[in-house]
Structure 1
Amino acid sequence: MTARSRGALARRLTGAASAAALIAAISAVAPALAQDFRFEEVSVEGNRRIETGTILTYAGISRGETVSAAALNDAGQRIRETGLFRSVEIRPEGGRLVIEVTEFPTINRIGFEGNAKIDDAELAQLVTATERRVYNPAQAQTDADAIAAAYAERGRINAVVRPALIERSDNRVDLVYQITEGGVTEIERISFTGNRAFSDRRLRGVLATSQAGPLRQLIKSDTFVADRIAFDRQMLTDFYRSRGYVDFEILDVDAELTRARDAYLLTFNVREGQRYQVNNVNIASEIPGLSTTRFDEAIRLDRGDYYSPTAVEDDIARMERIAIRDGIDFLRIEPRITRNPRDLSLEVTYVLSRGERIFVERIDIEGNSTTLDRVVRQQFRTVEGDPFNPRAVRESAERIRALGYFADAQVNARPGTEPGSVVIDVDVEEQPTGSLSFGANYSTDDGFGLVAGFAERNFLGRGQLFSLDLSTSENNRVISFDFAEPAFLGRDLRFGFGVDYRSTDNDSALYDTDTFRISPSFTFPVSENGRLQTYYAAEYNDITDVDPDASDIIIAEQAEDGVWTNSLGYSYSYDTRRSGLDPDTGILLRFGQEFGVGDESFVKTTALASAETLVLGEDVLLRATVEGGIINHSDGTTRVTDRFFMGSRIMRGFEAGGIGPRDADTDDALGGNKYAVTRLEAEFPLGLPEDYGISGGAFVDYGSVWDVGSTRGTGATVLYDEFTPRAVVGASVFWDTPLGPLRFNFTEALEAEEFDETRGFDLTISSRF
């Protein structure tokens, strides 16, 4: 036998011996692993607060019971899972089983250290651990994570929270959450890729999130909140699709931290797709005998309009209201869209069919501890027993959120107790609705002023408005009180009651005025975008502190002392600036008349028409406004407190009372019974970062005020009593600052009369705090 053969044989014998030894060892251990135990005694050691019987119940092992080794392990695990013990050891000692435990301490006090941006009371609401209860490390870590999440929602994603224990006597500890708040993680830049139709600036204006910039310490900035990105995605999608981009999608949103981890860089990657116009709109009925002609009046979407899901939804809502009016229940309206990619057009067909017969069983409202149930129910056009309409429920939910009374409002439908019925659940979270404010303002018309106000938008939980405002400036003092019930007698009828007192101290005139007015009113809708207000007014006017050198006309008017007038009036408004089919264009129309009754007989008529549109990728706003008024008195006599004056709000470029009829001898502004003005203006970006809040504008104003009426036989000479037009051209700078919005107007009068008082610059600022 060779040496190599002898080595191989030795290795085989050694391997066989090892295997035999391993088999023998397993055979010897196996009985031990499968061993059963029977204990004549079960004892617990180390427990001071938890009763022995309680621990034995958790273990589930009784004296004299036969248990396996696996059952002993399970018993130990059950005790550990209670969260009451720091350590658990189960030890068989012959016929005796020993359960040795070390209890977790009891929490003596819960505190917070290092927090400055969130106070203790708010943090305590996030903590689930409780004083005088057993400390649980898993629970403490969960609470620490909740606190860190609260800081992250405020833009402090680097906040670190650590639970720490301070040992006390009798197995007690103080649980302290040690907080390192870190700095605010701002949005340093928001950018877009793939956008061609709209600029980054315009798209940033759509988002709820805004970016910081070089002046972030002085100018508004925003913090990063991850949950807000989903809302921004929806806002951006709605913006594009309401403008005809039916295929628009957001590919992804990249949120990247800067190297210093103190700011985010957000990038929205979008695909705009093609823009589609409506080629045709039809109505088709799948219900035998149902004519579609009755629904024609509901269609506002028209050929040539850019497709908008919002416009389609509005058409369907109007058609459903017609169906309810005509007693057609359970009508289902489905918009079917046919696309023609060749000419980028769409054909919209509204298909009428029968829907499921489902009724509203009841409406349950929860979470409103202050607001009365009826305030929430008034937002529903549906009541118990009505056919269920998911669209109507969604609209009701939007109206509830729009009230501003609730931080959150969820409206959902669930199956009712009977087949074919649903229960509508309304779950609201109330928020403060009152405000107390103090502030300051400045205008070149009235000078520097102070303002104070109290307002409650949900007075006594009834959904009523109660407000009191006081303001004073160099030239006037105003006290006003307003009360409004938006659902008078449970209907869409707004009742208002206002009281105003105004006192003027005219530095530019030789007289002062006092005005007191009480006016109850009712306002109600007359069309989708139109509202009508009717009112009664009792007004007191007095001319005071007339200088002997004042105009004879003013002196004669003052001799009549204070005058009470009673009047009835109405005001109609039509506004599509937010609800029109074209999101780029809005129209505002206002027309009103006030009729004097009793001793003073007059008719005061005012009107305004305004249209605005966005152009050049919606970066530039163009607006045109025509405004005017006329007072017709039965005897042709009016007072300076009745007549129109054209301040800078109506026509820029002149001092308050700087144009219109004047006394030739005293230069007193007398006002006029007629006025008319046309304003053309544009607002546009100046190329500065949006976080500066600075934009520009240009405008042209053209108009006049004229016709004093009777001069009461004074023989005074009145200048510019006939229509004499003025024209002004100017530029504006708008600055949205932390102190409030500022507007700077630089003007040049192109047409002015000799005694007009022009103004080349004016500034308006207001702030509330």
Structure 2
Amino acid sequence: PERKGFLVTFKIEEGQQYRIGSIDFRSSIPNFDASSMRSYSRVSIGSLYNVESVEKSVEEMQIEASRRGYAFAVVRPGGDRNFEAHTVAIVFNIDEGPRTYIERINIRGNTRTRDYVIRREFDISEGDAYNRALVDRAERRLKNLDFFKSVKISTEPGSSSDRVVLIVDLEEKSTGDFSVSGGYSTTDGALAEVSISERNLLGRGLFAKAAVTYGQYARGYSLSFVEPYLLDYRVALGLDLYQRQQLANSFISYGTKTLGFSPRLGFSLREDLALQVRYSIYQQEITLPSTLANCNNVLGSSAFNPSPAFAASQTPPLDLTSSNGLGCYSDGEASLPVRKELAGGRTLTSALGYTLNYNTLDNNKNPSDGLLIDFRQDFAGVGGDVTYLKTAMDAKYYQSLVSDLVGLVHLQGGVLTKIGNNEIRMLDHFQMGPNLVRGFAPNGIGPRDLNPFGTQDALGGTKYWGASLELQMPFWFLPKEVGLKGAVYADAGSLFDYQGPTTWSVTNELTTPKNSSCVPSTVNPPTAGTCTGLVYDDSRVVRTSVGVGLIWASPFGPLRFDYAVPLTKGKYDRVQEFRFGGGTSF
């Protein structure tokens, strides 16, 4: 009474979960095979009953029926609950709907966006049979463009009883972004980025972006342009020009410079399936201090600067007392594949590739249900200096378990295949660390150079696999608006099978444990051995770890903190238990 109002309390109780007991398809339309709709169903026997999946099934079936010439077909789902077994028997009834046609499509509120940009999101036009599923799909597509604050499609009576007018009401919003971003990660150090982008350039639906990045260990720029409807077909044309510079840091002894260009075409095969084909051409070179690339075992050469392994392999052994027995290792030395890459100078890679993307996520930014699969292959050898076939797969499955608890299963794997007699560069190998198993340093997993007096560079591998199980949940004692979630996870994976260079005739580094009876070097205790070529560890140990994470959609940008402890690891792997990354825009 004192507040002169009412206090209304809504009490929500979660009922018993039901599973799908059976699925049936029935049709009242002559000559229409209802069972042929089974492949378009998003629900399966034994799965939890989900209204959204049923609605998506109805949409897919109705659109498919329209494609087959049944323009007025209407799919109506029905369900019969078994209260004792807690199951639902679903029936999809396919009937003939009212014969209604679209007289006009009127668009209102688009002060900047061209009409054709909006109309091309419709799979129907004036004169076509009215199909509510296709109208709903067009409305969803318009919302996903992110050009408008609001999108609403309604109907009005037409000039006759079998005619309707579609009214598309829109409210434009700003689509340009200028941002100055700053962040820090344990991999790239402090990082700043200035970017300008426009999602609806000239009101034509074009995307353009220019960005410049400058950080402790990573620098570069990129230019991107996308035409989402090439020649008025639902084919996206993308163009990317980029330059990247990665500086030497505590994880790698060398730097890289990359300049590249990549045109690509994107095809929407279905609402949940997309294909991208691309061509990539880039030039890459390594940078390395001269003190890390001065070994030379060629007797009589003016650049002769022997390694202790070479000195020990001679009869009699060479005297290296002036360098404390270390020879060219006295000031450090990069691994043989790195030095060989440096001597080769700039390398041009020309590759054709494609990516298949399957996406049923309920929310791309913050998913709680659905499946995301990326399968990609790249063939290098369309000109250029290198040849290989690289295949990689990444799959993430999200499932809402109870309340706000979300489970994530993440599987990944890849294979680098040698083609012909062409040697695979070390830089083309897969390099793995916390992106495969958390708790390990960048480039911390897999084959590694065992020279105890050198930089012991990670060599990478041609095969990898990884599996991760993660549970994410918000903190119950905090409002959801805070955007703070916790995570617990377990990771497993491995990287192995180095196939890069192990010998180098230019510097007379030719003997390895595989091609001779030389004595390999050891790390503990540190000994040089007598093998002048590459001695490396390539054990196929399964790396595992468990950890906890903190995920924060903060006002300063997305932040994530991870603390993971390796349970099993390779003898020479590098560990990094804490990892942090994040940034901001203002």
TM bucket, shorter chain: 0.7 to 0.9
Give yes or no for the alignment of 1:709 onto 2:500.
yes
Q: 1:530 to 1:257 in 2, by over 3 A?
A: farther
User: Which amino acid in 1 is paired with 2:236?
Assistant: R
Give yes or no for the alignment of 1:678 onto 2:467.
yes
Aligned to 2:466, the other structure's residue is in SS state: strand
TM-score by length of 2: 0.79
For 1:701 and 1:318, locate their aligned partners in 2 and report how far apart those are by CA, in whole Å: 36
User: Which amino acid in 2 is paired with 1:410?
Assistant: K
For 1:257 and 1:662, locate their aligned partners in 2 and report how far apart those are by CA, in whole Å: 75
Task: Identify which of 430, 437, 442 aligns with 1:656.
Answer: 442
* Distance apart, 1:696 and its partner CA: 2.6
1:261-276 aligned within 5 A = 267-270=9-12, 272-273=14-15, 275-276=17-18
User: Which amino acid in 2 is paired with 1:383?
Assistant: S
Q: Who is 1:611 aligned against?
A: 397
* Distance apart, 1:380 and its partner CA: 0.8
Q: Who is 1:406 aligned against?
A: 148
Give yes or no for the alignment of 1:568 onto 2:352.
yes
* Distance apart, 1:287 and its partner CA: 3.1
1:439/1:768 contact within 8 Å kept: yes
Q: Who is 1:595 aligned against?
A: 379
Summarize deviations over 1:11-68 as a string: whole Å, max 9, x none: xxxxxxxxxxxxxxxxxxxxxxxxxxxxxxxxxxxxxxxxxxxxxxxxxxxxxxxxxx
Q: Which runs of 5+ in 1 are unaligned?
A: 1-255
Summarize deviations over 1:178-234 as a string: whole Å, max 9, x none: xxxxxxxxxxxxxxxxxxxxxxxxxxxxxxxxxxxxxxxxxxxxxxxxxxxxxxxxx
Aligned to 2:291, the other structure's residue is in SS state: coil
Q: Who is 1:281 aligned against?
A: 23
* Distance apart, 1:257 and its partner CA: 11
2:449/2:537 contact within 8 Å kept: no
User: Which amino acid in 2 is paired with 1:487?
Assistant: Y
User: Which amino acid in 2 is paired with 1:656?
Assistant: P
Give yes or no for the alignment of 1:545 onto 2:288.
yes
* Distance apart, 1:434 and its partner CA: 0.5
1:493/1:522 contact within 8 Å kept: yes
* Distance apart, 1:284 and its partner CA: 2.6
* Distance apart, 1:340 and its partner CA: 4.5
Point out the more displaced range, 300-309 or 524-533: 300-309
TM-score by length of 1: 0.61
Give yes or no for the alignment of 1:696 onto 2:486.
yes
Whose RCO is larger (CA < 8 A, sep 6+)?
Answer: 2
For 1:463 and 1:319, locate their aligned partners in 2 and report how far apart those are by CA, in whole Å: 30
* Distance apart, 1:373 and its partner CA: 0.7
Point out the more displaced range, 507-516 or 267-276: 267-276
1:660/1:705 contact within 8 Å kept: yes
2:405/2:471 contact within 8 Å kept: no
* Distance apart, 1:579 and its partner CA: 8.5
Q: Who is 2:233 aligned against?
A: 491
Q: 1:290 to 1:638 in 2, by over 3 A?
A: closer
For 2:13 and 2:475, locate their aligned partners in 1 and report how far apart those are by CA, in whole Å: 28
Q: Who is 1:766 aligned against?
A: 583
1:30-429 aligned within 5 A = 267-270=9-12, 272-273=14-15, 275-429=17-171
* Distance apart, 1:466 and its partner CA: 0.8
Aligned to 1:357, the other structure's residue is in SS state: coil
2:561/2:580 contact within 8 Å kept: yes
For 1:633 and 1:513, locate their aligned partners in 2 and report how far apart those are by CA, in whole Å: 25
Task: Identify which of 726, 729, 737 aligns with 2:546.
Answer: 729
Q: 1:754 to 1:265 in 2, by over 3 A?
A: farther
Q: Which runs of 5+ in 2 are unaligned?
A: 293-333, 511-532
Q: Who is 1:438 aligned against?
A: 180
User: Which amino acid in 2 is paired with 1:625?
Assistant: L
Q: Who is 2:407 aligned against?
A: 621
Q: 1:352 to 1:506 in 2, by over 3 A?
A: same
Give yes or no for the alignment of 1:642 onto 2:384.
no
RMSD: 2.9
Summarize deviations over 1:146-183 as a string: whole Å, max 9, x none: xxxxxxxxxxxxxxxxxxxxxxxxxxxxxxxxxxxxxx
Point out the more displaced range, 308-317 or 443-452: 308-317
For 2:566 and 2:15, locate their aligned partners in 1 and report how far apart those are by CA, in whole Å: 48
* Distance apart, 1:527 and its partner CA: 4.1
* Distance apart, 1:710 and its partner CA: 2.2
Rg comparison, structure with higher value? 1
Q: Who is 1:751 aligned against?
A: 568
User: Which amino acid in 2 is paired with 1:731?
Assistant: V
Aligned to 1:540, the other structure's residue is in SS state: strand
User: Which amino acid in 1 is paired with 2:75?
Assistant: I
Give yes or no for the alignment of 1:557 onto 2:341.
yes
For 1:536 and 1:309, locate their aligned partners in 2 and report how far apart those are by CA, in whole Å: 41
* Distance apart, 1:428 and its partner CA: 1.3
Give yes or no for the alignment of 1:523 onto 2:266.
yes
For 1:759 and 1:314, locate their aligned partners in 2 and report how far apart those are by CA, in whole Å: 44
Summarize deviations over 1:521-576 as a string: whole Å, max 9, x none: 11223345222211111111111234332233322111111111211111112223
For 1:365 and 1:355, locate their aligned partners in 2 and report how far apart those are by CA, in whole Å: 26
* Distance apart, 1:431 and its partner CA: 0.8
Identity %: 31
Summarize deviations over 1:263-292 as a string: whole Å, max 9, x none: x99843335555444433323333344442
User: Which amino acid in 2 is paired with 1:348?
Assistant: I
Aligned to 1:269, the other structure's residue is in SS state: coil
* Distance apart, 1:300 and its partner CA: 3.4
Q: Who is 1:216 aligned against?
A: none
